[in-house]
Structure 1
Amino acid sequence: MLVAAAVAGPAPALAAPPDGACRNADPAHEVITQMPWAQQLLDVKQAWSHSTGAGITVAVIDSGVNADHPQLRGKVLPGRDLVLPGNGRGDFGCVSHGTAVASIIAAAPAPGVGFRGLAPDARVLPVRITEREFSDSGDPIPINPDAVANGIRFAADEGSKVINLSLSGYGDYPAVRAAIGYAQGKDVLVVAAVGNRAKLGMVASYPASYDGVLGVGSIDVEGARSSDSQIGTYVDLVAPGENVVAAAGPSGHDHWQGTSFAAPVVAGVAALVRSARPELSAAQVATRILATAAPARGGRGSAEYGAGVVDPYRAVTEALTGDRPQALPAVVPAPPDPAGVREAAWWDRAGGAAKAAAGLVLLGVVVAAVACWAVPRGRRRRWAPGRVTPASPRATRAETPDEVFLFPVNG
């Protein structure tokens, strides 16, 4: 259900965009109240009794984050703007992409609204590296690799424990690679979208391909890989990313498509784990998330699904042995009772004989019935063969999938 009212009552703007910053700001969106399918699949409420992400900062290096959105108020730090010279804050957005990503990570529950973030007590550090995804002609706008690299370093220096990169490209840029290494040296877990260019084949994807980065693909409501979610060795696991609900505009929501919105699901789960188990390193958190992933189509370790579907509850709670979930103790069957075995054998023999006798009786009844039906009909036709009317073909409905629009095309 859609309602026109905002999640919360009107309040003064906390971080309005600077004058002239937004040429085509996103319009208002309605509030989506029903429970999204991704929330139902992940069932994150189970994990919240163990962790809500408290004390963890997740950096969202993106198009900025609207700190005024009712479900994000009080959660968004000032951050940094690397697009506008002289503007220091990243807590606003001309488009809603970064706001949607941040809300998947940390949106607070709201009365009457089914959508909420994976780690509602985590904080978001917004780093604005792009103004909008598309040009006036509809072409994707490339993101400056130096801005990405500088944003990663800033996020690491500001104490982020998780960095979300809902972007991807073909190029292996030394500046970005070095910045990710810098963040990992500060024990930061980097999560990245694998990209939406599967129709081009098994193409390169950075930064998901870098060592230690968790590359996240997208699945739909049926658990199948989204048609454009890229395939390759850089796909570490998958998460809901098709037709998912997230924040949009000043106070509402929208449905979003693409690996850009699967990546923050895993970033949110990483925040849960880092809050519940602060003794674990970033590499150990990544290992835990992969080891506890739920089975997906294609089997574990496939180029389409990686380790499987992220599982928040297991990632937070499961006891691991090495890099695997702890195995349940083996069930040892009780030794058979000799007297019981002999009695069961007798009943099997007796039952077999009874079944054979009953089968002969039933066969005789069927033969007699067929004869009673066939003989009169044959006499009426003088034993000429009857005409067989062919069965009409089974009606089928063409299953034409709806066209999937991916936004943005670079993540």
Structure 2
Amino acid sequence: MAAAVAVLTMTVPQTLGGTSVANAAPPAGACHDAAPARAQVRAHPWAQQVLAPERAWPHSRGAGVLVAVVDSGVDADHPQLRRPGKVRAGRDFYLSGGHPGAFDCVSHGTGVAGIIAADPLPGIGFRGVAPDAEILPVRVSDRDLGDQGEQLRIDPQVVANGVRYAADQGAKVINLSLAGFDDFAVIRDAVAYAVSRDALVVAAAGNGQRDATIAFPSYPASYDGVLGVGAVDINGARMTGSQIGSYVDLVAPGAKVLTVARVDGHAYVDGTSFATPFVAGTAALVRAAWPRLSAPEVARRLIATAAPSRGGNGSAAYGHGLVDPYRAVTDGLDTRAPDVLPAHAPRPPDQARLDRAASEESIAETARWCTVAVVGALALALLMALVVPRGKRRRWRAGRARAVPVEPRIIEPPEQVFLISGR
């Protein structure tokens, strides 16, 4: 086996209350220690409340878009994933023997697929972002933890084979919920191959952040053409451990988010592994609504329509903001043809109405001048009533104004020179 690749950013899902039902039935000997089923959770999860992808469903539900989940496999028997045509057979690259990828031992890949495309069920609050998208399960790992609780590593050649297979199968979105510090040429080349086939690759930023001062590398999130995804909590703050770097393009819910578990039920999980499928599902909605957009154009659309986050645009911790399924689908979307305006046909003038208006205007003008004449005559009569009697009393002699009193002339005393004796 070749040198190890980046550690999968998996978080073992919490066990929910209730009694577990029977385990899934993967191929004999395929699972080291298969995870049990979980109890169903009926509550509406916070991540679905925040993103509200159902607002975009009248315009797009992801139909016709194939999303590859390169992960631990996908349990196609889960009630929210078992609809015919929902999950393809896929392929298992971890085990030899030509097994399909439509089984899961640890629920990680199943949880990722559920966030992307789980069908709504009556009485269940959880549902996927793009419920009509198809899932292509590509199995590249078996367990997330070893017998001693250590994180297990994945053969980089296996990951590369899975990515190339997904691209060859026509996947328009490839979800990589795995991350590591090392740059492996085989994975880099496989990602470049998928990008050249117009697949939008969405990868987790990783969970290895120790503090907010040091930026660690992350692959495959750092590769050209890849959308890197960080995780936030219910308050919109960066999840503890979500890595910081220029490779973070977007953030999505990743702390205590609900998803499906293998066989049945749901589990609460943490990590950028589970933030990534929220972006991948949104990409499926966009590719269904805007089929002519290329993968780079879809990526730019997701970035341009992201909701502002705490870090501001282009932040190393938050990227360009929180993914917004509704805006990503609907901004600028108007499928209706423009309305045809009726031809302008001016109506002939109503001559009788025009004549009537002209007559009314003439009468009003005459009334205004008559009013001015009457007011002027009254003013003249009032003036005559005041002036004529006064003139008769004076016999029409001109009056004399009173003489203006002459002020006495002030004589200034002559200037004098005062002599001061020296005594």
1:20 is aligned, of 18, 25, 29, to 29
Q: State the distance in 1 between where 2:332 and 2:205 align.
A: 29
4+ residue runs over 3 A deviation: 2-6
Residues 241-280 of structure 1 mapped to structure 2, 5 A cutoff: 241-280=254-293
Instruction: Compute the TM-score of the two structures, normalised by the length of structure 1.
Output: 0.74
In structure 2, the residue matched to 1:376 is none
One-letter amino acid of the structure 2 residue matched with residue 134 of structure 1:
L
Q: State the distance in 1 between where 2:290 and 2:262 align.
A: 34
Q: State the distance in 1 between where 2:36 and 2:19 align.
A: 14
Q: State the distance in 2 between where 1:155 and 1:4 align.
A: 37
2:40 is aligned, of 8, 15, 31, to 31
Deviation readout 1:235-282 (Å, 9 max, x if unpaired): 001000000000113111000000000000000000000000000000
Q: State the distance in 1 between where 2:171 and 2:44 align.
A: 30
Instruction: Please state whether the residue corresponding to 1:31 is helix, strand or coil.
Output: coil
Does residue 138 (structure 1) correspond to residue 146 (structure 2)? The answer is no
Q: State the distance in 1 between where 2:290 and 2:19 align.
A: 39
**Which structure has the larger Rg over C-alpha atoms?**
2
In structure 1, the residue matched to 2:50 is 41
Q: State the distance in 2 between where 1:27 and 1:88 align.
A: 21
Q: State the distance in 2 between where 1:142 and 1:44 align.
A: 33
Deviation readout 1:24-75 (Å, 9 max, x if unpaired): 1001200010000001000111100100000000000000000000000131
Instruction: Please state whether the residue corresponding to 1:239 is helix, strand or coil.
Output: strand
Does residue 193 (structure 1) correspond to residue 204 (structure 2)? The answer is yes
Shift of 1:298: 1.6
Residues 8-407 of structure 1 mapped to structure 2, 5 A cutoff: 16-73=25-82, 74=84, 75-199=86-210, 201-319=214-332
One-letter amino acid of the structure 1 residue matched with residue 52 of structure 2:
D
Q: State the distance in 2 between where 1:3 and 1:175 align.
A: 43
Q: State the distance in 2 between where 1:160 and 1:16 align.
A: 27
- Structure 2 unaligned runs (5+)? 1-15, 334-423
Aligned CA-pair RMSD: 1.7
Q: State the distance in 2 between where 1:97 and 1:165 align.
A: 12
CA contact (8 A) 1:27 1:249 kept: yes
Deviation readout 1:302-354 (Å, 9 max, x if unpaired): 1010000000000001029xxxxxxxxxxxxxxxxxxxxxxxxxxxxxxxxxx
Equivalent residue pairs, number: 314
Q: State the distance in 2 between where 1:135 and 1:94 align.
A: 13
Shift of 1:211: 1.0
Q: State the distance in 1 between where 2:175 and 2:54 align.
A: 22
Shift of 1:4: 5.2
One-letter amino acid of the structure 2 residue matched with residue 231 of structure 1:
I
Q: State the distance in 1 between where 2:33 and 2:133 align.
A: 30
